[in-house]
Amino acid sequence: MEKQNIIKVLAPLGEPKDNKPWRDYSSYGLTAADASTLVALVADSRFLESEGADYWVPLHSWRALQHLMPAGLHELIGIFDVLAEDDWAHDEIPFVVAAAKEAALDPLLDYVLDERNDEFAVPMALQSLVEIGKRYSKLRKPVIERLLYCLKHTSAADQGLKGLIVAELVSLRAVEAMPSIRAAFAEDVLDWSVCGDLEDVELGMGLRTTRDTPRPNYQQPEDGDAEFEDEEDDEPLVPQVIRTEPKIGRNEPCPCGSGKKYKKCCMQ
């Protein structure tokens, strides 16, 4: 379909309704052959200057890409930097990319590891990985493996990114990642203001119900004082997971699927 014809289809759709399911864009005759054009429309900043209904063409373009995935996947990831400051994009692009399933895993990994990419766009790639892990149970393990690879191989100086990776592992309830997470805390390579301290992470993972120590003050200190001050807030910094299943016994099979006993695998 010609670019102008796609615009004529998408422009009248106007502003999307809050909390409403996305339209079935497959009904508009768009095919995989249109994916590159749709990505170009997503990145076209001229629509943002419009006061008409076509202001929403980029949003409808990325939503239309969802049912075409993995067509357009690499092109879409390639414009994450362009979308870095778009709140709508940060909220919705991970759902679009997740539709590509396993085809998106390594391109997203490469994006996170490429230090040339915009620091505000990298979280979009991480969130896309996490969305794949949440949506497709068979891909949860490969997603966690890639997040742990990022945790290990991102620059030691980029403590904020490492903290964000840990926070995303918590959102996946990746208890099997705890050995690597504890090692990262021991190496002091995490920004605690992003993911919380180790007790916060354990709270988020559902491995504890209360803190043993007062929570540090995660706000940046003033006057060059690098010391954290204690505060009484005992709410977990990352959302706490409430255990609904029985606690795993030491000699039971590990839930990660390795075939090993829990005490010989993720319990360590």
CA distance 201 to 178: 9
CA distance 44 to 252: 55
Q: Where are the beta strands (DSSP E) in 115-224?
A: 215-216
Two tokens at 26?
A: 């497959």
DSSP assignment string, 237-258: SSPPPPP-SPPPPTTSBPTTSS
CA distance 175 to 168: 12
Give CA separation, 66 vs 54, 96, 101, 245, in Å: 20, 5, 11, 34
Q: What is the CA radius of gyration of the chain?
A: 21
pLDDT of residue 242: 43
pLDDT of residue 121: 95
Closest CA to 207 of 246, 175, 235: 175
Percent of the chain exceeding pLDDT 90 equals: 71
Q: How many CB atoms lie within 10 A of CB 258?
A: 14
Tell me: pLDDT of 243 over 90: no
- pTM, two decimals, is 0.79
The domain in which residue 105 lies consists of 3-264
**Number of Cα atoms under 13 Å in the Cβ half of residue 60:** 24
Distance of CA 80 to the CA centre of its chain: 13
pLDDT digits (tens, 9 = 90+) for 152-179: 999 888 999 999 999 999 999 999 999 9
pLDDT digits (tens, 9 = 90+) for 24-81: 999 999 999 999 999 999 999 999 888 888 999 999 999 999 999 999 999 999 999 9
CB 180 within 8 A of CB 148: yes
Between residues 251 and 206, the one the model is more confident about: 206
Q: Provide the mean pLDDT of the chain.
A: 86
Structural domain count, the chain: 1
Task: Report the range of poorest mean pLDDT among 47-51, 109-113, 197-201.
Answer: 47-51
Counting beta carbons within 10 angstroms of the beta carbon of residue 263, is it exposed (0 to 12), middle (13 to 18) or buried (19 or more)? Answer: middle
CB 112 within 8 A of CB 125: yes
Q: At 19, is the pLDDT very low, low, confident or very high (cuts 50, 70, 90)?
A: confident
CB 77 within 8 A of CB 113: no
Instruction: Provide the terminal-to-terminal Cα distance of the chain, rounded to the nearest Å.
Output: 56
pLDDT of residue 266: 60
Counting beta carbons within 10 angstroms of the beta carbon of residue 210, is it exposed (0 to 12), middle (13 to 18) or buried (19 or more)? Answer: exposed
Task: Report the range of poorest mean pLDDT among 11-25, 136-150, 215-229.
Answer: 215-229
Question: Is the four-CA dihedral 256, 165, 241, 180 of positive or negative sign?
Answer: positive
